[in-house]
Amino acid sequence: MLLTTNTPEPYPKPRFDDIFMELAVNLARRSHCIKAQVGAVLTRDTRIISIGYNGPPAGTHNCDEEYPGVGCPRDSKGSCSLALHAEENAILYAAKNGSEIEGATIYVTLSPCIACARIIYSMKIARVIYLHSYAEYKGIPTDEGVEFLRRFGVTVERYEPGDGVTLLADPPLAGPIKNQHS
pLDDT over threshold 50, residue 176: no
87 included as an active-site residue: yes
Q: What is the mean pLDDT of the chain?
A: 85
- DSSP per-residue string spanning 80-122: BSSPBPHHHHHHHHHHHTT---TT-EEEEEEPPPHHHHHHHHH
pLDDT at 10: 63
Percent of the chain with pLDDT over 90: 58
Q: Pick the closest to residue 109 from 91, 136, 134, 88 (CA basis).
A: 134
pLDDT bin (cut points 50, 70, 90) of residue 6 is low
- Out of 37-41, 57-61, 68-72, 168-172, the most confident range is 37-41
What CATH number labels 16-158?
3.40.140.10
Please tell me the least confidently modeled range out of 4-13, 69-78, 131-140: 4-13
How large is the average pLDDT for residues 89-103?
A: 96
pLDDT at 142: 94
Q: What's the angle, vertex CA 37, arms to CA 163 and CA 133, rounded to 5?
A: 55
How large is the average pLDDT for residues 10-24?
A: 88
Q: Pick the closest to residue 120 from 52, 172, 171 (CA basis).
A: 52
pLDDT at 149: 98
Beta bridge partners of 65: none
Q: Which residue has the higher pLDDT, 35 or 113?
A: 113
Cα 13 to chain centroid distance, Å, stands at 24
Catalytic residue, chosen from 9, 22, 66, 87, is 87
The structure's pTM equals 0.85
